[in-house]
Amino acid sequence: MNPEVQAFFDEATFTVSYVVHAPGGNRAVIIDSVLGYDPKSGRTSTAPPDKILAYLAEKNLAVDWILETHVHADHLMAAPYLKTKTGARTGIGTGIATVQRTFKAIYNFGDWLASDGRQFDKLFADGETFSCGPLTGRVIHTPGHTPACVTYAIGDAAFVGDTIFMPDYGTARADFPGGDARQLYRSLRRILDLPRETRLFMCHDYGPNGRPYAWLTTVAEERAGNIHVKDGIGEDQYVAMRTERDRKLAVPVLLLPSVQVNMNGGRFPPAENNGVSYLKIPLNAFG
């Protein structure tokens, strides 16, 4: 059975979240939710996930899973807020523990941050499956952008996170701590080896060259035209391109606040004795 997919585009972070459900069904999955965040004031907002909740209410959908494709470096995830509203379980790939250990050291966090993935209800192994009503999802580990990256394949749809973008924008960077361009290429081939008619749903789009935002393509379209990894581009060629390109990329604006929240399952650091949570900014650690 192939799912119905409703997209929610957050233009502030160029992020696409999804609600996935069976046609006519009443069970749903949420993928890659966004919490509003103003880096100038440090204020958060539930406006983006509230749009998802409104859709769920309109369609009379109950949520089984709130899934993340990876530890995002460009937006705060809204999984804890959505969990309180829906009672759904949260999930991410088993590679989360590697990300937590890596960034726990960078931020010099203490024992309050567990680095075994326990902040999520479920850590998915490669090839593991999950259910949502009559739908069955399969987890494909696709590391390289980060060690925790996974793709969720549900029917004829695959939710690829940041691993691959629309054909005219290419593929993910691989220069974050724990990233690996060669591993990324092999992950990309796993996605491109899916049936050619598979619908691929992006986590981001930036409207390059002024085109309208878009987040849906197919395996066939990516294999024919992705500027970084179309058919005929080999591993060594890709790694050379990716390595050279990554040297020129700026650090994402929200990387420093996002990673420390998202690797903690979307929860803020513990409040201090004045009742306020604070984010740490490691100086001269990136770029």
pLDDT at 161 (0 to 100): 98
Question: Mean pLDDT throughout 90-100?
Answer: 98
pLDDT mean over 56-74? 98
Give just the sign of the alpha carbon dihedral 138, 14, 216, 173.
Answer: negative
Altogether, the residues listed in the chain come to a count of 287
**Band of residue 180 on the pLDDT scale cut at 50, 70, 90:** very high
Residue 232, pLDDT > 90, answer: yes
Band (pLDDT 50/70/90 cuts) for residue 285 is: confident
* Residue pLDDT, tens place only, 69-81: 999 999 999 999 9
pLDDT value at residue 287: 63
What share of the chain in percent tops pLDDT 90?
98
Domains of the chain (ranges; CATH) run 4-256 (3.60.15.10)
pLDDT digits (tens, 9 = 90+) for 110-154: 999 999 999 999 999 999 999 999 999 999 999 999 999 999 999
The mean of the pLDDT values for the chain is: 97
Residue 199, amino acid: R
Strand partners, 164: 171
Instruction: Reply yes or no on whether the pLDDT at 101 is more than 80.
Output: yes
Q: What is the pLDDT of residue 65?
A: 98
Confidence of residue 33 (pLDDT cuts 50, 70, 90): very high
Two tokens, residue 158: 């695959």
Nearest one of 242, 121, 224, 132 to 187, comparing CA atoms: 242
Residue for token pair 């931020």? 107
